[in-house]
A and B are shown apart, each in its own frame.
Chain A
């Protein structure tokens, strides 16, 4: 009730405003007949309890997917799970709210006082990460509708050259950093804005987004899961959490015999080969290199922070208020009349320019404060990426790279070792 109070006051104010300032150009009629005013038609939305049903479905789907991937080891089952999630979260619930987008709600709530986050949005954000920490990226395997639509359309996987893959795989980090920055400064929800598949789920969107979505799906026939691998910002978080997963899907149900049959089976290049045959270098040398690379991390962080600090004014251009202020200022300086809809609305509304410029200053300052952190995050991520390249772990088996593996189960059938009892138990 206390939380609702400001809104009650707002509504009352608006009513008062309406009564006081209604443009009563024409007197309201005094009806002689017994005319009754029709009611406002204000349909309510879907009952609120539905969002808790969504939550229950999310948790249920995660549990079933985990069981299918880790215990039952059924690729078929995972595919059916994808179909279900695509149908429910995608086509039935039409894509909102999703875990991928919830990143922004969390960041908006963390850094803005005016916004309280709906419990469901918070849980949609946290729960898949908890599952990732426990069991790997089972969310991607069969629950995420964006992942599902790509999983179901990836027919003919081809491999990208390693360097291309590495370069493209850094895009999600930048995307995540920008998305968090833009929502933290209450500017825009980047992820939702460029969500390629939500238009397909709704069968309705600006045609540019539909084209983008369809193109991605077409590309995905060959380069499977292009959104997941080279764009998805939530995937970055899942990737990090999944690396520390307590349990994770394994390629073989028993002991790996190094037969190499699964080596090329993963469409996402997520299988780490066993490397017992490789000559290992002297531990002294690798330790030195490790320390050297480690020292690079703060350097990268500082460089990233510095770079993004300088980018702050440019980045603040995504904020519509800042854009409007720039337009009005340009009009003042050059004399060319500002004609965009926002400029016209601004003039009509009669807000003062000083006000607008003060707002602009405030927003740019927020960007100045926040954007170095985005740079620092990217610097650290780059540094850690390099360090991990320098570590060469000895592996005596073929196993999934826990960060990259979507737990899709495609590799299961390539492993010749079959354990009968595991299916029957």
Chain B
């Protein structure tokens, strides 16, 4: 009887040892399999401005409110026009800074006089909620110098960016940490 029990015991020991080895295998295999595909730096999410179709999802779908995705201005591309397609609502009678004439629903664009006949448009990041209306206006009627980017001081870098998931033009993708922005224009004056 005692022997029987011992046999049973040693068999159980063997089974549990073998099980442990088998179960430990994936913990070694997975890192080995991924050895070549591992990077010490991480990823961040960014918008490819050339794919963005200004659909407006950025404003509503980010987990942050207001959205981490905001409008930025490539000044080098801008025409500095008096009548700015990104600033002025379409079909306004006179060009003015009156709120009802502004395209931006939250008044986040500042218009400043530079010199005749040029005006500089600056995005007030604290106000901008990422609706992309101005980006569409600028793209349709201007030089396309306004574009959307995810601001990494606000973005919490979700494992699965919820704007990317619903972006209709698949404009948002993971980019390596060192290349956090896809700038539209790098020309320097």
Interface residues of A (CB under 8 A from B): 3-4, 7-8, 11, 14-15, 17-19, 22-29, 31-33, 35-38, 40-45, 48, 51, 94, 96-98, 101-102, 104-106, 109-110, 115-122, 125-126, 129-130, 133, 188-189, 192-193, 198-199, 202, 204-205, 240-241, 244, 246, 320-321, 340-346, 348-349
- Comparing B92-100, B101-109, B180-188, the segment that makes contact with chain A is B180-188
The 10 closest A-B pairs by CB, nearest first: A26-B79, A189-B160, A45-B152, A342-B168, A192-B160, A43-B153, A345-B168, A118-B42, A341-B168, A345-B169
Are the C-beta atoms of B169 and A96 separated by less than 8 Å? no
Q: Which of B19, B39, B168, B175 contacts A340, CB < 8 Å?
A: B168
How far is B43's CA from A15's CA once the two chains are assembled, in angstroms?
Answer: 21
- Known contacts A96-B159, A115-B174, A126-B31: A29-B185 contact under CB 8 Å: no
How many contacts A-B (CB < 8 Å)?
211
How far is B86's CA from A25's CA once the two chains are assembled, in angstroms?
Answer: 13
Chain A residues with CB below 8 A from B162, complex form: 193
- Known contacts A122-B34, A345-B53: A18-B77 contact under CB 8 Å: yes
Contact with A along B152-188 (1 / 0, CB 8 A): 1101111110100100111000111111111111111
Are the C-beta atoms of B156 and A94 separated by less than 8 Å? yes
Chain B contact surface mostly: loop
Are the C-beta atoms of B125 and A349 separated by less than 8 Å? no
B interface bracket (residues with beta carbon within 8 Å of A): 35 or more
How far is B42's CA from A35's CA once the two chains are assembled, in angstroms?
Answer: 38
Are the C-beta atoms of B180 and A244 separated by less than 8 Å? no
Are the C-beta atoms of B153 and A106 separated by less than 8 Å? no
Q: Which of A27, A45, A130, A344 contacts B155, CB < 8 Å?
A: A45
Contact with A along B132-152 (1 / 0, CB 8 A): 000000010111100001011
Are the C-beta atoms of A117 and B185 separated by less than 8 Å? no
Q: A15-B185, A25-B142, A341-B55 are in contact. List 17 more A-B contacts (CB 8 A).
A: A18-B185, A23-B144, A40-B75, A41-B72, A42-B180, A45-B177, A48-B42, A51-B42, A109-B37, A118-B39, A126-B30, A133-B27, A188-B165, A205-B63, A244-B19, A246-B20, A341-B168
- Known contacts A17-B50, A43-B153, A240-B23: A119-B63 contact under CB 8 Å: no
